Amino acid sequence: MSFGFQVTFDAHEPERLARFWAEALGYVEQAPPPGFASADEFIQSLGFGPDWREQFFALVDPEGKRPRLYFQRVPEGKAAKNRVHLDVNVGAGLAGDERRAAVRRRADELVALGATELHEATEHGQYWVTLQDIEGNEFCVQ
């Protein structure tokens, strides 16, 4: 039996948060199904109005290897630390100063996109930087 999954983010501004993660992970907006010229045309065929992008937004890995990311509008704000978070792994296959530099460089790029740095850490020979995305969700660059 084969299983697929998506990662769902609760958000105040789904499209804005999705665009941050698209840049962070190299994802793209999900294309409309065959037979539809645009996402707007498809979503409106389902009965949603023109403000649908304020309600939800989906991203996909352009290579089709990683899970779909779905962003949905919710009224409540984030109340506590995430129980699940993403790790953005940019240091795979690198060691020492080279790995640390790659992690630091990517963390700085994400801060330039609007992330907030919380702290950096080294433990058991591993180095990572903990950030928050533009809506306060924690994630690590390692």
Examine residue 79 and state whether it is found in any structural domain, yes or no.
no
Do residues 90 and 116 share a domain?
Answer: yes
Q: Is 11 contained in some domain?
A: yes
Position 48: which residue type? F
Task: Check residue 49 and give its pLDDT.
Answer: 78
* Whole-prediction pTM: 0.85
Beta partners for 38? Answer: none
Number of domains into which the chain is organized: 2
* Within a domain: 55: yes
Q: Which of 18, 45, 73 is the last residue of a domain?
A: 73
| pLDDT for position 2 | 63
Per-residue pLDDT, 121 = 95
By residue range, what is the domain housing residue 111?
86-141
Does the residue 94 lie in any domain? yes
Q: What pLDDT, on the 0 to 100 scale, is given for residue 9?
A: 93
User: CA nearest 57: which of 105, 9, 111, 101?
Assistant: 9
Query: 3-state SS string over the chain?
Result: CCCCCEEEEEECCHHHHHHHHHHHHCCEECCCCCCCCCHHHHHHHCCCCCCHHHCEEEEECCCCCCCEEEEEECCCCCCCCCCCCEEECCCCCCCHHHHHHHHHHHHHHHHHCCCEEEEEEEECCEEEEEEECCCCCEEEEC
Full pLDDT tens readout for the chain, 142 residues: 667 789 999 999 999 999 999 999 999 999 998 999 988 888 888 888 778 778 899 999 999 999 999 999 998 877 777 778 899 999 889 989 999 999 999 999 999 999 999 999 998 888 999 999 999 999 999 9
Residue 54 confidence (pLDDT): 82
